[in-house]
Amino acid sequence: MKKLYILLSPFWLFTSYFVLYISCFSFAQSSNKINYQAVARNASGTPLAIATVTVSLDIHRGGTGGPVSMSETHITSTNQFGLFNLLIGSVNTAAFDTLHWGRMDYFLQVTVNGSSMGTTQFVSVPYALHSKTADSLTGGSVSVPWTKSGSKVILSTVLDSVGIGTSAPEAKLHVESTGSEGAGIFRISDPANANNALVVSTNGLANAGLFQITNASNATDVLYAGTNGGGRAGVFEINNVTNMYPAVWAQTNSNDNSAVAIQGSNTGLGTAGFFEITNAANTENALNVISNGGGNSFVGYNSGTGRSGLFQINNAANSSDALLATTNGTGKAGNFSISNAGNSANAVTAGTNGTGTTIYGVNTGGGSAGIFEIASGTNSSNALVASTNGTARAGHFQITNSSSAASALFATTGGTGLAGEFAGKV
């Protein structure tokens, strides 16, 4: 069997314990291993004859401090001249077979009995491993699945699939990582490049993309989109006018109140969420909040000093309500309550700068149009105060039904005071 030997220039690796003299590397074509021979000497230069040494080998890729692609440890003995021989790749054969000699620069770090002897780059000999594929070549034409056209490399067999990190690809391109490295990186480093870093498109019936975490103990995000620029971190858009599905659909089956389907957070000065209809002809709601459960459809909390909710119409020609509350059930259409006993503000304040009524109560059923009640027996305040600083009446009570025989104003008391009291002209 033919062997290739290349003699490297001798070099000395000094430590406080001994010196290694690297005599040569050699590579046998019949085996994916590299011969390594060295002389172990003490600090005085005397060979360590008939001694047991522990030699650790680490192969770095890309540079002397690059990631370690292969590590293995040998326990060997020196001869009477201090010489010992190793086969690099004979211990960790699986990792050694994954080294890409034709594409990467590799560096060998040698450690003897726990002391590093330094790191040096592999040069010619190990890269003969890259030529081992020539062993299977025979005369005549050779079928090569990859072709090169300009700056593009193309898989000629269009029906085949490519597997990286897997021998059983499940798609046209299947990248799988079983170690600590990521499965793929798509990056554009040119700031002037206006192309997408990744395009995912389908003309079929399935999803254009699927992001999934199968590890139940993983608490990170399935999909994270971030930007340092001035644009959006993400855009979800439907361009089909006949599409009846949401542009974004979020769903959770968690029973935890904090595990919401959608959460918006802003650590700056902007809004946490924004819903807008820009089509003036659109008569649908900008936001629909629906619940089929026993909780609230919508809750607004504010732990700061602002309002919990603001409903505002900025169109002067808009005659719609700023807020409409309606129910088809048996409960109230609206409930305004202050739970702080020390709060002296109004539970409801209604104001207008127009000519209409500030508060207008209408009942088309059989109940009252309005009730003002104090339920506390020790409360000495008025149930209703009507006051004006204008020139009109403070109160107007009127029956417009000519057939009604009831009083326009009825005042009664169950206490010892007056049912009615008037100060001024009566």
Which pLDDT score is estimated for 71? Answer: 95
Which pLDDT score is estimated for 18? Answer: 44
Residues of the chain with confidence (pLDDT) below 50: 1-30
Which pLDDT score is estimated for 109? Answer: 94
What one-character-per-residue DSSP string does 295-309 give? S-S-----SSSS-S-
User: 197-236: per-residue pLDDT in tens?
Assistant: 888 888 888 888 888 888 889 888 888 888 888 887 788 8
Cα separation, 36 vs 239, in Å, equals 65
Which pLDDT score is estimated for 387? Answer: 86
State pTM to two decimals.
Answer: 0.48
Which pLDDT score is estimated for 236? Answer: 82
Which pLDDT score is estimated for 119? Answer: 92
Cα separation, 207 vs 200, in Å, equals 10
For 65, the token pair is 């401090």
User: Would strands 52-61 and 34-42 be described as parallel, antiparallel, or unpaired?
Assistant: unpaired
CB 65 within 8 A of CB 36: no
Class of domain 3-132: mainly beta
Q: How far is CA 300 from the centre of its chain?
A: 25
Which pLDDT score is estimated for 306? Answer: 83
Q: Which amino acid is at 327?
A: T
Cα separation, 263 vs 255, in Å, equals 16
114 Cβ contact list (under 8 Å, min separation 6): 54
Which pLDDT score is estimated for 68? Answer: 93
CB 54 within 8 A of CB 112: yes
Q: What is the end-to-end Cα distance of the chain in Å, rounded?
A: 130
Instruction: List C-alpha distances in Å: 113 to 12, 54, 248.
Output: 17, 5, 60
Cα separation, 253 vs 251, in Å, equals 7
- Could you state, in order of their start, the residue ranges of all structural domains in the chain? 3-132
Which pLDDT score is estimated for 125? Answer: 55
Report the helix count and the strand count for the chain, using DSSP H and E: 1, 13
Which pLDDT score is estimated for 78? Answer: 92
Which pLDDT score is estimated for 280? Answer: 86
Task: Name the burial class of residue 320, with classes exposed (0-12), middle (13-18) and buried (19+) by CB atoms within 10 angstroms of its CB.
Answer: exposed
Cα separation, 421 vs 414, in Å, equals 15
For 192, the token pair is 């002037």
What one-character-per-residue DSSP string does 327-345 give? -SSSS-S-------TT--S
Residue 281, SS3 per DSSP:
coil
